[in-house]
């Protein structure tokens, strides 16, 4: 089969096309013929071995695929790698049937970015109706879905941040009440101003570094920063416990992998998200459909923040 393999860690240049043996489904697994594979920012960390879970070589990246099983079911699956390929073996408990009204790209967006957004707001932030929610990178895969879910679930105000005017316009189109520049300098002040001069309740933060610092500084009483990434590859200022006590603030980490294998933590949110998508109440943006041979370009695009929504690879091209 055709696949993308890396034999050394580095940037997008180490992603190379290879011919590999087809995977074999073991006990508790299904073999999937891949129609599309998802591309995630976390993949760029995995390729350079800077992700939360250390990688070993050789490696076929890719954490989710959509395609067909040998018995003809159309499914989306979460993987522990191996998705950038024409075939993939997936655990049955991480494989989910895709409704007819949900496209391949939407299925990939919802199984990973959608369930992440769901858990950020429900499980980690425990959002209450009327609260102000800040969504960084609001035109991205997780952000674009989090904006919509926060609004549907009764957020008092959704403040989006994004790096360009075009992306901020997209966030407003998706339901954000206001959109501001996400650059770290002056960010705290822009967030407070966007909230009518009051500090904010919840920040969904995946940039890290100075953006994390500004997000924490913008919190009001009982405010929560949910950190789920470090796209800037910069270190934030260490959090001082006493600073959290003043204002009763919280910093909560989230990693979707901690939900894998826990009954219901993926399947139940995903069923809710699929239902919303089928009703037209949730839009999963597919921002790029790349031939697998252009995988290095896809990684360059996502690292440089030129993209919106979900990116996918077509293994047949």
- Per residue in 111-138, pLDDT (tens digit) is 999 999 999 999 999 999 999 999 999 9
Instruction: Give the separation between CA 272 and CA 232, rounded to whole angstroms.
Output: 32
203, 198, 117: which is closest to 159 by C-alpha?
Answer: 203
Confidence at residue 247, expressed as pLDDT on a 0 to 100 scale: 96
β-sheet bridge partners, residue 85: 3
Instruction: Give the separation between CA 124 and CA 224, rounded to whole angstroms.
Output: 9
* Res. 193 pLDDT band, cuts 50 70 90: very high
Instruction: Give the separation between CA 234 and CA 232, rounded to whole angstroms.
Output: 5
Confidence at residue 109, expressed as pLDDT on a 0 to 100 scale: 97
Contact 137, 204 (CB under 8 A): no
Confidence at residue 53, expressed as pLDDT on a 0 to 100 scale: 78
- The 10s digit of each residue's pLDDT in 249-265 is 999 999 999 998 798 99
Confidence at residue 55, expressed as pLDDT on a 0 to 100 scale: 84
Mean pLDDT taken over the chain: 95
Contact 175, 147 (CB under 8 A): yes
Confidence at residue 50, expressed as pLDDT on a 0 to 100 scale: 84
Residue 261 to residues 64, 78, 126, Cα–Cα distance (Å): 15, 11, 22
Cβ atoms within 10 A of the Cβ of 93, count? 16
CA dihedral 307, 312, 314, 317 (to 10 degrees): 10
Residue 35: pLDDT over 90? yes
In Å, the largest CA–CA distance within the chain is: 59
| Residue range 224-239: mean pLDDT, rounded | 90
Residue 305: pLDDT over 90? no
Instruction: Give the separation between CA 115 and CA 273, rounded to whole angstroms.
Output: 8
Contact 182, 211 (CB under 8 A): yes
Q: Is the dihedral of CA 195, 254, 227, 225 positive or negative?
A: positive
Q: Regarding predicted confidence, which is higher, 80 or 147?
A: 147
- The 10s digit of each residue's pLDDT in 3-23 is 999 999 999 999 999 999 999
Residue 306: pLDDT over 90? no
Q: What is the pTM of this model?
A: 0.92
Helices 209-217 and 187-194: crossing angle in degrees, nearest 10, is 40
Residue 52: pLDDT over 90? no
Instruction: Give the separation between CA 132 and CA 187, rounded to whole angstroms.
Output: 16
| Residue range 292-298: mean pLDDT, rounded | 96
């Amino acid at each position: 089969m055709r696949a993308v393999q890396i034999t050394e860690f580095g940037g997008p240049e180490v992603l190379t096309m290879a011919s590999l043996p087809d995977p074999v489904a073991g006990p508790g697994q299904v073999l999937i013929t891949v129609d599309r594979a998802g591309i995630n920012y976390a993949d760029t960390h995995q390729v350079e071995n800077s992700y939360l879970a250390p990688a070993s070589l050789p490696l076929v990246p890719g954490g989710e695929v959509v395609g067909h099983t040998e018995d003809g079911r159309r499914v989306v699956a979460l993987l522990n790698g191996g998705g950038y390929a024409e075939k993939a073996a997936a655990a049955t408990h991480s494989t989910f049937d895709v409704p007819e009204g949900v496209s391949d790209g939407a299925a990939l967006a919802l199984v990973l970015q959608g369930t992440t957004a769901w858990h950020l707001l429900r499980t980690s932030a425990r959002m209450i109706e009327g609260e102000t929610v800040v969504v960084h990178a609001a035109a991205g895969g997780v952000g674009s879905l989090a904006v919509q879910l926060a609004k549907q679930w009764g957020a008092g105000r959704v403040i989006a941040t994004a790096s360009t005017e075009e992306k901020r316009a997209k966030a407003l189109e998706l339901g954000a009440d206001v959109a501001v520049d996400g650059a770290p300098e002056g960010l705290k002040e822009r967030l407070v101003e966007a909230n009518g001069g009051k500090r904010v309740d919840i920040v969904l933060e995946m940039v890290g570094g100075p953006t994390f610092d500004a997000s924490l500084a913008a919190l009001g009483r009982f405010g929560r920063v949910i950190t789920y990434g470090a796209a800037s590859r910069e270190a934030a200022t260490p959090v001082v416990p006493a600073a959290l006590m003043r204002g009763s603030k919280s910093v909560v980490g989230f990693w979707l992998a901690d939900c894998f294998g826990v009954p219901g933590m993926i399947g139940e949110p995903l069923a809710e998200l699929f239902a919303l998508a089928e009703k037209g109440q949730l839009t999963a943006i597919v921002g790029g459909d790349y031939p697998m041979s252009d995988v290095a370009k896809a990684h360059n695009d996502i690292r440089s923040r030129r993209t919106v929504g979900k990116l996918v690879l077509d293994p047949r091209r």
